[in-house]
Structure 1
Amino acid sequence: MPSQIGCVRRPQKLISTMPNAAPIQVLIIEDHLIMSTALRLLLNSQENLCVVGEASNKDTARQMAASMAPDIVLLDLFLTDGESVSLIPDLLSLSPGARVVVLTGAPDTALHRRALTLGATGLVLKEQPADVLLSAIERVYQGEVWIDRSLLAELMTPVPPPVAGPIDTLTHREREIIGAVGLGLRNKQIAERFFISERTVHNHLASIFRKLEVGDRLELAIYAGNHGLLEQAPPKSA
């Protein structure tokens, strides 16, 4: 069930230097009750922060984002129903004025990159002191991007290009020959179709078998059918 929270005001140090600023309304999305409670107590102890709700799963988070219209969504990277990164676009769509700060304890650079790509503007490690989180909320609320320094170097490391799969290594001619094999043509027929020698066809097939790790023409035809390679088959001769 969604948990709507009333704010407890205590005469603590303001995290904002703006006088008479309206409280920053925060929605906490965290599936561990102790962690969620600790965050609520911390944030509500600040005079210009107000926790307006707490959610522990994706469905509740969507409901509260739509109904509470928070300024900041404090989002744990993992919830009981899976990683929460995919939730970010929904939160921003349901609450267009919100900004998302992700709390992470996972050393997963790819997931952190994805969170930022999907619209998060803050990334804070759970192991950091409370002051870091408070500063991150303030900066993100003011329109800045906050990324923990220890994560910044990893995120700025270039992503290596994906390793080519076996299909990517096939030449255009090899793809044509695979299509011809799928039509049931023998080496001599393939050679005549493409105006090459049977020896060249044999060499191409040996290369194809090696690249795709298949043992014979039947395995090749099955592999090609499963991976859409037969769609490139040349038309049968009249």
Structure 2
Amino acid sequence: MRVADPSTLTSPEFAPLRPAIRVFVAEDHHITLWGLHRLIDAASPRMEVVGTASSRDELINHSAAATADVLVLDLDLGGEDVGAALASLRQRCPGHVLVLTGTDDVAQHRAAVMKGARGVVHKSEPAQTILNAIEKVNNGEVWLHRTLLGEVLGLFTSGTPAAAPRTIDPHAMRISSLTAREREVVVTMVECTGAKQLVVADKLGMSEHTLRNHLTTIYSKLGVRGRLELHLFATTHGLGTAMGRWLTA
């Protein structure tokens, strides 16, 4: 894992608009833990490390873990399976869980997501990708590689667990490109079918101009032309139902 140059992470464009993201890191490889700590500290004032752990017991008993916004966890801490305790850990630690892994075992990643993890990022990813994942997860979005995201979307559209798809659904890829706010816009547009854009904008708490900008981006990402096609796409692929709400929660 490459540690980003601090000078590129603390420039004026990253001036804080809200409190720093409180990050707790659990990793049993001390060099990796040191690198993550330095990486996140270099991203100040956007985020800060509030605690670390190198074993499951440390993680469960550390008071800072219970107050962190994001928990960055290696599922294998000193040979102990943190994934098995993830559901109970989530009850004690309400922060969003981002799994940091060195394995390509999709089954393990899937199990972590089903137990409450909001994201999975590989240790081989560039440093900036790890920072981006922390921010996205903190914002309530999901951070999953495309294959796993396709599986999760499949679970919420079919309602039953399914085997890993052999091919990636292009529609799922389009949906995965939407941000949480854009998904919220789509859901609200479906709920307010026939309403004027000003009414929809008021319900979303934004200006009509901002709504138009969102729609332009959404149309492009989903490959639709106008509100009618957006409505058809959303209702066909479940974006106006519980699946869309789960992805924006």
Amino acid at match of 1:131: Q
Taking only the aligned residue pairs, the percentage that are identical comes to 35
- State yes or no: 1:112 paired with 2:125: no
Contact 2:59 2:65 in 1 (8 A): no
Aligned to 1:90: 88
Could you say if the C-alpha distance between residues 40 and 19 of structure 1 is closer, same or farther in structure 2, counting changes exceeding 3 Å?
closer
User: Where does 1:1-238 land on structure 2 (aligned, <5 Å)?
Assistant: 12-13=9-10, 19-47=16-44, 48-64=46-62, 68-96=66-94, 98-149=95-146, 151-152=148-149, 158-159=162-163
What value does the CA root-mean-square deviation take over the aligned residues? 2.8
Give how far 1:83 is off: 2.3
TM-score normalised according to structure 2 size = 0.54
C-alpha distance in 2 between matches for 1:44 and 1:109: 30
C-alpha distance in 2 between matches for 1:79 and 1:107: 17
| Structure 2 unmatched ranges of 5 or more | 1-5, 155-161, 165-249
| Structure 1 unmatched ranges of 5 or more | 1-8, 161-238
C-alpha distance in 2 between matches for 1:88 and 1:33: 22
Contact 1:105 1:126 in 2 (8 A): yes
Number of residue equivalences: 151
Could you say if the C-alpha distance between residues 70 and 10 of structure 1 is closer, same or farther in structure 2, counting changes exceeding 3 Å?
farther
Give how far 1:13 is off: 3.6
TM-score normalised according to structure 1 size = 0.56
C-alpha distance in 1 between matches for 2:13 and 2:63: 24
C-alpha distance in 2 between matches for 1:64 and 1:139: 24
C-alpha distance in 1 between matches for 2:89 and 2:68: 10
The one-character-per-residue Cα deviations of 1:66-101 (angstroms, maximum 9, x if unpaired) are 6651000000121113222123223221122x0000
Contact 1:24 1:50 in 2 (8 A): yes
State the structure with more CA Rg. 1
Deviation above 2 Å: which 4+ runs of structure 1? 9-20, 65-68, 148-158
Give how far 1:38 is off: 0.3
C-alpha distance in 1 between matches for 2:147 and 2:12: 22
Say which SS state the counterpart of residue 39 (structure 1) adopts: helix
Amino acid at match of 1:61: L
